[in-house]
Amino acid sequence: MLDLCLLGTGGMMPLPNRWLTSLMTRYNGSNLLIDCGEGTQITLKQKGWSFKSIDIICFTHFHGDHTSGLPGLLLTMGNSDRTEPLKIIGPKGVIRVVNGLRVIAPELPFEIEFIELEDDFNRIDYKGYQIEAYKLNHKVTCYGYNIIINRTGKFDMDKAKAADIPIKYWSVLQKGDQVFHEERLLTPDMVLGEERKGIKVSYCTDTRPIDNIVIHAKEADLFICEGMYGDPDEDNKAKEYKHMTFWEAAELAKAAHVKTMWLTHFSPALVKPKDFEYVAQKIFPNSFVAKDRQTITLKFED
Amino acid sequence: MLDLCLLGTGGMMPLPNRWLTSLMTRYNGSNLLIDCGEGTQITLKQKGWSFKSIDIICFTHFHGDHTSGLPGLLLTMGNSDRTEPLKIIGPKGVIRVVNGLRVIAPELPFEIEFIELEDDFNRIDYKGYQIEAYKLNHKVTCYGYNIIINRTGKFDMDKAKAADIPIKYWSVLQKGDQVFHEERLLTPDMVLGEERKGIKVSYCTDTRPIDNIVIHAKEADLFICEGMYGDPDEDNKAKEYKHMTFWEAAELAKAAHVKTMWLTHFSPALVKPKDFEYVAQKIFPNSFVAKDRQTITLKFED
């Protein structure tokens, strides 16, 4: 079970009624944040989810509308008595950028551990999340992220018996731990059936539409995708500023066979994005113009 | 005539219903901002005053709640097609801090000119503002600011005639310019009477109460002063964190003989600061708990 809240839906600058685009997920007591623009901590406070439980912050890229809220958030996390290390993931340069911003947040009660993404595709397993970062095509280096919760197979008693596993270790192995017993390593796969379908969320902003998105967002339960421009007249702007239109996002969603798409990262000039939702739905019916703090709980299929 | 808007009234962190403390003034087409926490650009947008006309930003000190909105504001000013240089004034270190924050706003279409304050008292004349910075007593180096609009004397025809000033120069001199005429320097004081009372605003946060505030806020038309704590039980916190209570601020206002005091920079724990307004008013009746975007136009007396 993965809780997910799109904390804001704006691009470029925060507006009185629209926070900048960022995503928070909650899984197994651990919160993950993607991007942190100016005001992200305020919409998070409105949502009421924990600052203290933020274990991971992923940055898509370093433009101000995706990063300017970081020092304030770090200070507020510090005030929440957090002491566990925080993991920050981002494109090459993330250490330099975060340390630059920390000129006004130099003293924190927790350590920051960095992962600088260097490859076009990166996978990180942390706190139960499988995080995949895939290269996008923006004016600066930018990554999309998959947040995946894998699901092990069901407990298989016949398999456990056949492998001669003592009953006292069944639940330990079922939970995913390994055990040494009589000079033999017992592993979870010895008691579990086939791996089952997990949960996959793909988050994709800022970028032009490229095949790499279709490849990596493939069959996501939820595809959160930028749609900077909704008005069919604004095709040129999307190309000029290396963003996407609603219909370009919808084409990606359709090609990637995702279940649902939420559009986000609206231009400040796009006052009523809902008015253009139909543009995306004509191409991919399960397209929705997201609202600030739109929330969903994704569950394992059964 | 000086327009003034207290853009926010919070301290420590921005809240859903309370922006961080910062002040904007407008005078003669030029805007001046004191402090810029996370969200200042949003409350400014709500107010509807110009981003493009911001010629001066003064920082009291470098704590995050007074500075974290700067990179976002600079980017938005850049998007407003501003090209004139921006003056940034702050304690020693302001160049280092602003350049640190500019890691996410490296390219701007205007230059930034810095003034680093080094003395306990500093005076800067710029764009018609007389800006005075006076040392406060906080955990880090911190300054209060006076924003003064001076007012010249009335035109004095008898004086002009006595000084043998040709009539064609009267209006030029009256406007404050100097003229060379027949090897003689003609100056405004030759045609003007005694200087008249101008407008004085004193802005004072974050600090313990000290005599230096009484000295420099003296006879201000408006004294904007921090009152982090209103509840009479929170005396110790004010001392521990080097802030002020409502009654300490009121004692300063009374001793400085200011006309009016606005309290601001409330602790996030102080949910209803208005409930404690009476505490300040018992000491200085013209004390008021300010609201976000509280606005006033101060005029010359006559």
User: What ipTM was assigned to the predicted interfaces of this complex?
Assistant: 0.91
Contacts of A68 in chain B (CB under 8 A): 38, 68-69, 71-72, 75, 104
Query: What is the bridge-based pairing of β-strands B196-204 and B184-186?
Result: unpaired
A101 touches B at CB < 8 Å: yes
The confidence score (pLDDT) of residue B96 equals 97
Token pair 């731990």: residue: A177
Q: Are A20 and A8 in contact (CB under 8 A)?
A: yes
User: A72 and B13 in contact by Cβ < 8 A?
Assistant: yes
The whole-chain average pLDDT of chain B stands at: 96
Burial of residue B153 (CB within 10 Å: 0-12, 13-18, 19+) is middle
Mean per-residue pLDDT for B248-253?
98
Q: Enumerate the domain spans of chain A.
A: 2-151+197-298, 153-194
B63 marked as binding residue: yes
Q: Are A268 and A302 in contact (CB under 8 A)?
A: no
Give the residue from A229, A202, A197 showing the smallest Cα distance to A213.
A202
**Which pLDDT band, with edges at 50, 70 and 90, does B133 fall under?**
very high
| Of the candidate ranges A54-63, A156-165, A251-260, the one whose mean pLDDT is the lowest | A156-165
User: A14 and B42 in contact by Cβ < 8 A?
Assistant: yes
Contacts of B76 in chain A (CB under 8 A): 13
The confidence score (pLDDT) of residue B272 equals 97
A64 touches B at CB < 8 Å: yes
Contacts of B100 in chain A (CB under 8 A): 100-104
CATH class given for the domain over B2-152+195-298:
alpha beta
Measured CA to CA, the distance from residue B97 to residue A167 in angstroms comes to 62
B76 min Cα distance to partner chain A (Å): 7
**B233 pLDDT exceeds 80?**
yes
- B71-129 pLDDT, tens digit per residue, is 999 999 999 989 999 999 999 999 999 999 999 999 999 999 999 999 999 999 999 99
- B32-56 pLDDT, tens digit per residue, is 999 999 999 999 999 999 999 999 9
Nearest to B64 among A45, A67, A104 (CB): A104
Q: Is A256 left (phi over 0), alpha (psi -120 to 50) or beta?
A: alpha
Using CA coordinates, name the residue in chain B closest to A70.
B68
B92 min Cα distance to partner chain A (Å): 14
Measured CA to CA, the distance from residue A202 to residue A181 in angstroms comes to 40
Q: Is A61 left (phi over 0), alpha (psi -120 to 50) or beta?
A: beta
Using CA coordinates, name the residue in chain A closest to B96.
A103
Nearest to A104 among B16, B68, B79 (CB): B68
The whole-chain average pLDDT of chain A stands at: 96
| Of the candidate ranges A112-121, A151-160, B270-279, the one whose mean pLDDT is the lowest | A151-160
**A232 pLDDT exceeds 90?**
no
- A162-183 pLDDT, tens digit per residue, is 999 999 999 999 988 899 999 9
Measured CA to CA, the distance from residue A98 to residue A68 in angstroms comes to 10
Contacts of A15 in chain B (CB under 8 A): 42, 45
- Catalytically active residues of A are 65
Burial of residue B281 (CB within 10 Å: 0-12, 13-18, 19+) is middle
Picking from B98, B102, B104 by the largest number of A CB atoms within 10 A of its own CB, the best residue to mutate is B104
**A152 pLDDT exceeds 90?**
no
Question: What is the dotted CATH code of the domain comprising A2-151+197-298?
Answer: 3.60.15.10
DSSP string, chain B: -EEEEEEE-B-SS-BTTBPBPEEEEEETTEEEEE---TTHHHHHHHHT--STTEEEEE-S---HHHHTTHHHHHHHHHHTT--S-EEEEEETTHHHHHHHHGGG----SS-EEEEEE-SSEEEEEETTEEEEEEE--SSS--EEEEEEEEEPPPB-HHHHHHTT--GGGHHHHHTT--EEETTEEE-GGGTB-SPEEEEEEEEE-S----HHHHHHSTT-SEEEEE--B-SGGGHHHHHHTT--BHHHHHHHHHHHT-SEEEEE-B-TT-S-GGGGHHHHHTT-TTEEE--TTEEEEE----
Contacts of A105 in chain B (CB under 8 A): 64
A29 touches B at CB < 8 Å: no
A232 touches B at CB < 8 Å: no
**B302 pLDDT exceeds 90?**
no
Which pair of tokens denotes residue A139? 């004016």
B265 marked as binding residue: yes
B65 marked as binding residue: yes
Measured CA to CA, the distance from residue A16 to residue B48 in angstroms comes to 11
- B154-211 pLDDT, tens digit per residue, is 999 999 999 999 999 999 999 888 999 999 999 999 999 988 999 999 999 999 999 9
Nearest to B69 among A12, A38, A97 (CB): A38
User: A71 and B72 in contact by Cβ < 8 A?
Assistant: no
Mean per-residue pLDDT for B122-140?
96
A8 touches B at CB < 8 Å: no
Residue A145: how many other CB atoms lie within 10 Å: 26
Contacts of B12 in chain A (CB under 8 A): 79
Mean per-residue pLDDT for B262-268?
98
